[in-house]
Amino acid sequence: VQPPEKPLQAEEWNKLREDFQSPEIFEEVMLNSMIRCNSPIDVAKSLLTHLAKRNGDLAYNVLVKYLTLCVQQGQVSEIRDVYDIMKVRFKILESGAYNLLIRGLSNSDQWRMALTLLEEVKKMMIPSRTCYESCIKAASRHQEMKLAFELFDEMLAKDVVPTLDVLQSLFDFSRGMKDAELQKELFGILLYLRENQIYPHKTFMRSIKLWFESIPGGKWRGHLTNIKDSGQCPVCNHQLEDSNLTEEEYSNLSERIIRDVIHGTDTFRKTSPQEFEAFQTFVENRLPFDIVIDGLNVSHIKPRKMQCENLFDAVNCLAKENARLLVLGRKHMLINSSNWKREIMKEMQNKADFFFAENISEDDAFLLYATLRSGKHCKFVTRDFLRDHKACLPDSLTRHLFRKWQRGHQIVFPSVFSQQPAFRYDCVVQTTGDTWHIPYKDVFEEKYSYQVPRKWLCIQQK
């Protein structure tokens, strides 16, 4: 339905209602379309008046819809009126109305009232992300940075995840302020990005750069750059952090992989205890390997070639550098077939160690184990993103470790789709005190989680 352009009389509303195909939901549909068309508020008022006169009351959802329209148009006095009415009419309000009220008021000069409303919400439930973000933005818009950061810290403490948008606004509104506390808080945000492996997008990056450069007496300079493959920053010649995990992180990760990925709830789901034990002794006797290859995965690289040929090419290519290779496969590869020729398999077994798992076992788990056992220098070859294995890890911290380790150790043969080569440096926000290096995304949305940005913001203090 098309909402009318001007306020209507009761009779006119009645007529419209009768003409509507299902009169019971007429008001709801009409208000929805008013919200969609951003109709003048007076039109909605006239409908409300008509309804109030007819029924002697207004339903809660009607008030909420009217509130949506008011918030959409920034009608502050109306928002307050609706709030007063709701407050007395209903014992409590639900989150939808609070979201609207806080959003509406935080954009006005009555933004402090949004803060009191937020306190009210807190008494009943954990406020939503939009509630917090509206209040944080309102506070920082009025240069009350301390308040803004208090709210921000509270939000994080309650496990409410902020959007990049609100982080950016914190940088934007802190521009040009000289305040050591504030600086610490903003560095805190950068470290938050680091810990959660979040990459800012281009506009956010620009806000960060402008903030740094605006610090009075800070002498910060920012440059956009690409990091060399060696991990050196061409602007400040600084060497970026190594992609290797620390000793502790490394042992932590290998422990978790064995416990959660290989054993999980039941060792029999992916392998069997006997088989895993056999594999363990096999690996221990031959350690350390330089490269571990997922045989089956590699054998599918070129679909038109015979599978063992693909594997043969890969093994030959990697064996050249005198590396110790381990190829993981399944028992069916040993049976002479059109895809697996016995002579070629024999030939390969001279160049690399082979382990054949049962046909119903998962060889990926073995791949991870053998690589981690061999030590930090060991790389692995597969096109698999290993997402299902990452998903077996219970907490996000270990998952981040896994991703970092994977970035540094996975080799992917170029084929239909290619992943980035193993990185020597760690692709994450990092600092040395007088320099900051911040990777950023060129596009607003990052499409694949395995892709890491190639562009960097280098900030150094002169």
Contacts to another protein by CB under 8 A: 5-9, 28, 40, 42, 45-46, 48-49, 51-53, 56-61, 64, 81, 85, 88-94, 96-97, 124-125, 265-270, 272, 303-304, 359-360
CA torsion sign, 443 to 447 to 448 to 449?
positive
Report the nearest approach of another protein to the CB of residue 300 (Å).
12
**Cis ω before 288 (30° cut-off from 0):** yes
Rounded to a whole number of angstroms, the minimum distance from the CB of residue 97 to another protein is: 7
CB of 380 to another protein, least distance (A): 23
Contact (CB, 8 A) for 189 and 170: yes
CB of 109 to another protein, least distance (A): 22
Half-sphere exposure of 72 (CA within 13 A, CB side): 16
CB of 260 to another protein, least distance (A): 15
Q: How far is the CB of 299 from another protein (least distance, A)?
A: 16
Question: Is 62 or 427 the residue whose CB approaches another protein more closely?
Answer: 62
SS (H, E, C) 301-363: CCCCCCHHHHHHHHHHHHHCCCCCEEEEEEHHHHCCCCCCCHHHHHHHHHHCEEEEECCCCCH
CB of residue 112 to another protein, shortest distance in Å: 24
Q: Report the distance separating Cα 146 and Cα 185, nearest Å.
A: 9
When the beta carbons of 9 and 226 are compared against another protein, the nearer one is 9
CA–CA dist 191, 208 (Å, integer): 13
Q: How far is the CB of 48 from another protein (least distance, A)?
A: 4
Q: Is 201 helix (H, G, I), strand (E, B) or coil?
A: strand
Name the burial class of residue 343, with classes exposed (0-12), middle (13-18) and buried (19+) by CB atoms within 10 angstroms of its CB: exposed
Strands (E), 156-234: 220-226
Which of the 8 DSSP states describes residue 380?
E
Closest to another protein by CB, 46 or 406? 46
Q: Which is nearer to another protein, 263 or 409 (CB)?
A: 263
Distance CA 307, CA 288 (A): 27
Closest by Cα among 357, 360, 351 to 369 = 357
Nearer to another protein, 67 or 412 (CB): 67
Distances, alpha carbon 29 to alpha carbons 21, 22, 75, 84, 308, in Å: 11, 10, 22, 25, 64
- Taking the least distance from each CB to another protein, the nearer of 275 and 353 is 275
CB of 359 to another protein, least distance (A): 6
CA distance 6 to 44: 9
Q: How far is the CB of 115 from another protein (least distance, A)?
A: 22
Q: What share of the chain is helix, strand, coil (3-state, %, to 5)?
A: 55, 10, 35
Rg value, the chain, Cα: 31
Question: What three-state secondary structure class fits 22?
Answer: coil
Give the nearest distance from C-beta 415 to another protein in angstroms: 13
Q: Is 232 helix (H, G, I), strand (E, B) or coil?
A: strand
CB 271 within 8 A of CB 365: yes
| Whether 329 contacts 363, CB under 8 Å | yes
459: enclosing H helix or E strand: strand 455-461
CB-nearer residue toward another protein: 150 or 275: 275
Token pair of 295, please?
A: 């045989």
Nearer to another protein, 39 or 371 (CB): 39
Residue closer to another protein by CB (options 56, 216) is 56
Q: Looking at beta carbons only, is 106 or 361 nearer to another protein?
A: 361
